[in-house]
Each structure stands twice: as structure tokens, then as C-alpha cells.
Amino acid sequence: MAAAVILCKPGPKGIGDSKKLTAKARERLEGEIRSRCAFGIGVVEPEEIDRINIFAATMKAMTLAMDRLCAAVQGEADEALIDGNLTPEGRLPEWRWPARAIVGGDGKEAAIGAASIIAKEYRDRLMVEAAQLYPHYGWERNKGYGSKEHMAALREHGPTPLHRRSFAPVAQLEMEL
């Protein structure tokens, strides 16, 4: 999951690292960003992540997000600011924008922070919906992260189609079977 955002002017107040914001602040900011700014979201499904690996899937999700952002504004970005130390530039033929990696970028650059808010809120909603299909895993609470509850349910009920087979606990379970 990745998102790309072009901030509106003036930008929403209080944007920062989505992991450090309260759920209420993220929800408020997501609404402002979605209603006032341009954005794109890129999603790579579990089967493809297993096929191409998590790093390649991350690069692909970023590329999809940028492509959708550019389609939304009917133009091209001058530069993509990427949270982390690597970018898709030169790694994927579909990537066509100059890019700059910024370690801890979601806390340093408002546009990256806004993208992290959009991506986290979107993913969290998907996990809440998935929890209705697979209630044993507690995804409405743990959002799919490897909590004790999630790991216990995985051992008891096995993986769902939403679990990556390359996720270490799933791969270990499948080796035991």
C-alpha cells in the first residue's frame, strides 16, 4: 500500500508521521487531504507480493500511487519525495519521475506525512472490512500486524487468502503441515 499527495495551499494543519498521530487526528486529516488535495493510492495484492517480493511490491505500489496522482491532476510531478532510503527510480521501467528519498520523511515533509496518513487510513479500513470476513484474527483492532491475538488465530485457524505466504509465521506454519 502506498499513497502520493500534492498538498493544497494552505495545507492542512497538524500533518506528521501517521504512526505518531492519534486515530482521531488521522481521521480528521485524511478527510481534509482527500477533500482539498490531490492524491493517488497504489495497492499490490498479497499473491503478487509473494510472487515478486515485498521490496519490489513496495516499489510497484509507489509507482501506481504516483501514476494515479498524475492522472488525478492531469499532469506530471516535478519530483517525488519518498519516505525511506530507496526510490523506484531506475528499479521499475514504469517509474518516470525524478525522486528523492528522505529517511523519516513522513515526519519531515508534509506531503510525505499526508501520503502516509492517506495510505494508513485506507489500509486500516480494508482491515476492518476484512475482519468481518475473518473475525478470528482481530484485524479490526490489530490492523493485520503480528499481534499476539493475530498470531494465536493464525496458529489455530491457519492463513486466509489475505495472508502473504511469504510472511514468516505463515511460511513456518505451512512448512509444519
Q: Record the cell numbers describing residue 143, joined without a space.
A: 490492523
Read off the pLDDT of residues 1-25 as tens digits, 9 standing for 90 and up: 999 999 999 999 999 888 899 999 9
Read off the pLDDT of residues 63-79 as tens digits, 9 standing for 90 and up: 999 999 999 999 999 99
Cα–Cα separations (whole angstroms), residue 116 to 123, 135, 152: 10, 26, 29
CA separation for the pair 50, 171 (Å, rounded): 11
Read off the pLDDT of residues 79-127 as tens digits, 9 standing for 90 and up: 999 999 999 999 999 999 999 999 999 999 999 999 999 999 999 999 9
CA separation for the pair 97, 100 (Å, rounded): 10
Identify the bridge partners of residue 40 per DSSP, sorted by sequence position: 4
Q: Can you give the residue ranges of every domain in the chain?
A: 2-133, 136-177
CATH class of 2-133: alpha beta
6 burial level (CB within 10 Å; 0-12, 13-18, 19+): middle
